[in-house]
Amino acid sequence: MSDADLSPSRPLNLNESLIWQLSVTGRLIRTLLDSELTDAGPQAIAVLVRLQEHDGLTQAELARRQRVEAPSMSGMVDRLVRAGYVTRQPHPDDRRSVCVYITDAGREIVDQSRPTVQRVRDEVFADLTEEDQATLVALLTKVLGRIPGP
């Protein structure tokens, strides 16, 4: 059954629901990574990886790229600053904004997390070929592009 076929005459089967499957899968993977990445959780690691890709993003731009609300990103950056993984500096052209920069300690925690993330990925997606995984990423990228939000 597809989520599009939600007619009242047909009983709903959550185990065949794409939305339910995606929701549960995402939650369980995040819970697993939270338990494995004890120094910095998966959300923090994702922000640090984003900064490795584009250091010096504003908090607003980080929030947009991570698809979270600005206050959530502000709290995350506060925690990362306290941990010594990032620093904030005034934006050179916009005094209302601050830019976030990854520190050497932030780079180190990302490097330390890589084997754990790789192992979890390998375990979770063991039944999918590399091609399957690439297809799944491409499909999810399309889906994410259609979802409005932060």
In which residue ranges of the chain is pLDDT below 70? 1-11
DSSP structure class, residue 10: S
DSSP structure class, residue 111: H
Query: pTM for this one?
Result: 0.82
pLDDT at 95: 83
Query: In the structure encoding, which two tokens stand for residue 13, read together?
Result: 């089967």
Residue showing tokens 């990574």: 33
Question: ∠ at Cα 147 (124, 75), nearest 5°?
Answer: 75
pLDDT at 1: 44
pLDDT at 6: 58
Nearest Cα to 77, choosing from 67, 69, 68, 87?
A: 87
Say how many CA atoms lie within 13 Å of 57 toward its Cβ.
21
